Amino acid sequence: MPIELHDVTHVYMPDTPHAVVALAGVNLKIEDGEALGIIGPTGSGKSTLVQHLNGLLKPTRGRVVVDGHNLADKGTSLRAIRRKVGVIFQYPEHQLFEETVAKDIAFGPLNTGVNSAEIGQRVQNAMAMVGLPPELADRSPFELSGGQMRRVAIAGVLAMRPQVLVLDEPTAGLDPRGRNDILKHIQELHTQHGVTLIIVSHNMEDIARMTKRLVVMEGGRIQMDGSTAQVFAETERLTEMGMGTPQVVMVMAGLRRRGYCVRLDVQTVAEARDEILSCLKRGQAGA
Amino acid sequence: MISARGLSHHYGSGDKRVEALSDINLTVEAGEFVAIIGPNGSGKSTLAKHMNALLLPSEGVMEIKGMDTRDSTNLWEIRRVAGMVFQNPDNQMVATMVEEDVAFGPENLGIPADEIRRRVPAALTSVEMAGFERHAPHHLSGGQKQRVAIAGILAMQPEIIILDEPTAMLDPAGRREVLRTVEKLNRERGMTVVHITHFMDEVVHADRVLVMNEGGVALEGKPKDVFARVQLLKDFGLDVPAVAELAHELRSHGVHVADDIMTVDELVDALCP
Ligand SMILES: Nc1ncnc2c1ncn2[C@@H]1O[C@H](COP(=O)(O)OP(=O)(O)OP(=O)(O)O)[C@@H](O)[C@H]1O
Ligand SMILES: [Mg+2]
């Protein structure tokens, strides 16, 4: 189910002195099975954009089309769309409200008519995916650490088994292993089950690892759109926009400035290592 | 400045009892910059809340500048001496204008109004937010909001700042702003800093790192020494900064770089003699 944004503009508090243009004519087409990253400074419109993808916000101008259905059409069932497009918001702990962790995770699937026999299975499964030990199932979600709450919120969306998974800052507050494990499971949903991923993050390492295509937003507009490696290679432009690049790209840029002709389009520690090693072998470095 | 002896904390009771901290012994010296890392649920936030008496020990003692947190007559002085900044900037803003927000803490302490009027602009200047007095907090960027939150603490003239994942929600520029501010307060004013984070690259400039695991301090030392223990950290579910890992990888492939590299510049220098 491809998602298309046609000339989408969103104005908060329109017709008031406080009107804010959060999106200004955004055009974007996301195909089935893509892994798309969205980065940009605070206030650049990322979270606003994401909330259009399942109809939580309506464009002030322009059209959002999901799987051929214009979300603004009367005949389009937003409920059906939300079953397929799962969104994990920036502060997912605000989405928690049930008495126990298990009930909280079960809420979404119950609501979309999954039968109770299957629910237990889905809850267990989702808890395992986000690394929540089974003994937390009966705890109140409000008696958890920050990172544990976030895991519950993520599990709730995973339990819906959406076809498109939208994650707004998915790993904020997660410890490194939690981040790794959860991203690995999400990656598997993508590679093995063809789930489309749309990931908004300030964490460049996560973006580098999870996405193939990267969109950079600034001032409510899409400023760059290309393969993740190509976009990150533009270190100077990104730095000017207040964005970072992954540390390994910064190392490569530093080496380039010292006269080594290493590639900039590396994404992982392993790629950086191999590139530096082969550069050393080519005899370009003194060491 | 901060001293915990045999400190334990449990939440709830009976079969709902959760052991969050067990037998913590810890001292933080005046002017020290201590970073705390550790997996989710390891007790970092619980420990932080003991440092300004938001929680009281189930067992053992916590003293802030010699004041026992269990003695309720110390409460306001402890909260003044040790200020706390949390993760979500939006939950911390209480007023409709930046200057009111900064004044909130000192007002609570009963500081006279004309003194507050002197302190607010000074605090905003220290976090490089002078000129934003009359702005609405919810229109600020995440990094700016966190700096206003820090200003609110500075206006109480504290000696310790405790930051519980202050940068988790921020973009890279916001993270840099907040870190620079905190490091400056530590360096130039000798402010004692306790900084909890999951970003390993934010830890490299601390004087000391505490690694928490399952309610106890599992490892502590200078950042270089702690990050040299790549495998042990991985066993705890933690990580080392990407640069440290790259250096480690290069070294194990026979490239001669030192074993305590933690920053991009250090690695580039090491490779370009
Ligand atoms: N209000 C509460 N009631 C009951 N148990 C709690 C409460 N808050 C935290 N806990 C439990 O206490 C333990 C320590 O939690 P704490 O919040 O100190 O962890 P943390 O290290 O700050 O984790 P994180 O990295 O996720 O923020 C965890 O097992 C957690 O589930
Ligand atoms: Mg915490």
Strands A20-30 and A221-227: unpaired
Q: Is the pLDDT of residue A194 over 60?
A: yes
Listed by start position, the domains of chain A span 3-228, 246-287
With beta carbons under 8 A apart, name residues in chain A contacting B88: 91
Q: Which residue has the tokens 């004692």?
A: B192
What residues does B247 pair with on adjacent strands?
none
Cβ-based neighbour number of residue A158 at 10 Å: 24
The residue to mutate among B46, B56, B199, having the most atoms of ligand 1 within 8 angstroms of its beta carbon, is: B46
- Using one digit for the tens of pLDDT, what is the confidence trace for A236-272? 898 888 787 888 999 999 999 998 889 988 888 999 9
Give the rounded distance of the alpha carbon of A227 from its chain centre: 16
Protein residue whose Cα sits closest to atom 16 of ligand 1: B43
Task: Work out how many CB contacts closer than 8 A connect A with B.
Answer: 133
B238 in contact with chain A, both atoms CB, cutoff 8 A: yes
Window A:71-100, CB contacts with B under 8 Å: 90-91
Which position has the token pair 């267990």? A124
Report the distance separating Cα A237 and Cα A239, nearest Å: 5
Q: Is A280 on the interface with B (CB under 8 A)?
A: yes
Class of residue B67 by CB neighbours under 10 A (exposed 0-12, middle 13-18, buried 19+)? middle
Model ipTM? 0.81
- Encode burial over A252-279: b for 16+ CB neighbours within 10 A, e otherwise: bbbbeeeebebebebbebebbbebbeeb
**Confidence (pLDDT) at A287:** 41
Cα–Cα distances in angstroms (integers) from residue B117 to residues B20, B66, B85, B121, B264, in the given order? 41, 30, 22, 7, 43
**Chain A interface mutation, best of B139, B171, B251, B257, highest count of A Cβ atoms under 10 Å:** B171
Q: Is pLDDT above 80 for A3?
A: yes
For residue B12, list chain A residues with Cβ-Cβ distance below 8 A.
143
Coil vs helix vs strand at B177:
helix
Answer whether residue A59 shows pLDDT above 90: yes
Tokens 């001669």 identify what position?
B256
Does A210 lie at the interface with B, CB-CB under 8 angstroms?
no
Q: How confident is the model at residue A286 (pLDDT cuts 50, 70, 90)?
A: very low
Least CB–CB distance from A41: residue in B171, B249, B250: B171
| B230 interfacial to chain A (CB closer than 8 Å) | no
Residue B196: Cβ within 10 Å count: 24
Tell me which amino acid residue A144 is.
Answer: L
**Residue-level pLDDT, tens digit, chain B, 273 residues:** 999 999 999 998 888 889 999 999 999 999 999 999 999 999 999 999 999 999 999 999 999 999 999 999 999 999 999 999 988 777 667 788 999 999 998 998 889 999 999 999 999 998 889 999 998 887 787 888 888 999 999 999 999 999 999 888 888 888 888 899 999 999 999 999 999 999 888 998 899 999 999 999 999 999 988 988 888 888 888 888 889 989 989 999 999 998 888 889 999 999 987
Q: Would you call B254 exposed, middle or buried from its count of C-beta atoms within 10 A (0-12, 13-18, 19+)?
A: exposed
The pLDDT score that the predictor gives to residue A130 is: 92
Q: d(Cα B15, Cα B28) in Å, to the nearest integer?
A: 34
Cβ-defined contact of A146 to B169 (cutoff 8 Å): no
The CATH number for A3-228, chosen from 3.30.70.960, 3.30.420.40, 3.40.50.300, 3.60.150.10, is: 3.40.50.300
Contact of B210 with B203, CB cutoff 8 Å = no
Q: Is B172 on the interface with A (CB under 8 A)?
A: yes
How many Cα neighbours within 13 Å face the side chain of A138?
A: 4
Instruction: At B166, list the tokens.
Output: 């202050």
pLDDT at B241: 85
Per-residue pLDDT band for A94 (boundaries 50, 70, 90) equals low
**Three-state SS letters, B8-74:** EEEECCHHHCEEEEEEEEEEECCCCEEEEECCCCCCHHHHHHHHCCCCCCCEEEEEECCEECCCHHH
Which range (A33-37, A181-185, B167-171) has the least confidence? B167-171
What are the structure tokens assigned to B5, written together?
A: 């002896």
CB contact under 8 A, B250 and A276: yes
B169 compared with A227, residue with greater pLDDT: A227
List helix spans (H) across A39-100. Answer: 46-52, 78-84
Taking CA atoms, A250 is separated from A150, A200, A258, B205, in Å, by 30, 21, 13, 19
Q: Which residue of B has its CA nearest to A40?
A: B171
Give the residue, by CA position, lying nearest to ligand 1 atom 5: A143
